[in-house]
Amino acid sequence: MVFGFPVFSGLALALGASTSHAAVVIALLPAATAACAVLRAGERPRPLFWVACAAGALAITAFTLTQNQGLPTWPDLLLVGALLSAAIGYTEGGRLSRRTPGWQVISHTLVLSLPLTVPLTVGLALLTPITPTPAAMAGFAYVSLISMFLGFIPWYAGLARGGIARAGQTQLTQPLLTLLWAWFLMGERFGPATVAAALAVLVCVAVTQRART
């Protein structure tokens, strides 16, 4: 959660992936989280789960190949890395939160990563000095305080209490919300193919969650 998702997703966006494109690919996160819950938390969904999960993967693959003239790009591979990192992190965090409060789980995660994050931050600051704008600093503060810390406290608690796969269905609104915020805040425009792919993935993920035993 500290390195995989933010690094992979940030690099994907820096290398040219639009926010709307990233939102569609990351839309598979609920299904990926449920799959990890099967492997690590002992949950056993019905066969319908796997059918819907495969359909969602096919929908994303078709969308990606259509957008890139049949060839996956580095941003696409990085987004897959971000997807897998988040799914594994959510599952392990949810498992730990069953016996440890969520605020302790995310706090331990951040503290244990300090021996790597602090030297890397100092080194990058010395090698690539920048003059951040107020807007950039505000975004950095939001990501650090909300996305990387406070948001995980209720999230891990919800995963522990509601079940990792079941609670993961609250992410179903993420792709459409991301598209709306990208349009509102960044002025991005997306075509019918993006909307259709997002809706198709939402349907597939919804089926995977309802098929869970």
Residue ranges covered by each domain of the chain:
4-210
Average pLDDT of span 110-132: 89
* Residue 127 identity (one-letter amino acid): L
Q: What is the CA radius of gyration of the chain?
A: 18
pLDDT of residue 67: 66
pLDDT at 29 over 70: yes
**Cα–Cα dist 168/170, whole Å:** 5
Residues belonging to the chain: 213
What integer best gives the mean pLDDT of the chain?
Answer: 83
**DSSP letter assigned to residue 148:** I
Q: Are 78 and 9 spatial neighbours (Cβ–Cβ below 8 Å)? A: yes
Closest listed residue to residue 199, CA positions, set 172, 165, 181, 178: 172
Does 57 have pLDDT greater than 60? yes
Instruction: List the structure tokens of 161.
Output: 């209490």
Q: Please tell me the distance from the alpha carbon of residue 105 to that of residue 107, in angstroms, as a whole number.
A: 5
Region 31-42: mean pLDDT is 85
Mean pLDDT value across residues 165-182: 76
pLDDT band per the 50, 70, 90 thresholds, residue 211: low
pLDDT of residue 84: 92
Asked if the model's pLDDT at residue 97 lies above 70, the reply is: yes
One-character DSSP codes across 77-134: HHHHHHHHHHHHHHHHHHHHTTTS-HHHHHHHHHHHTHHHHHHHHHHHHHHS-----H
What's the N-to-C CA distance of the chain in angstroms? 27
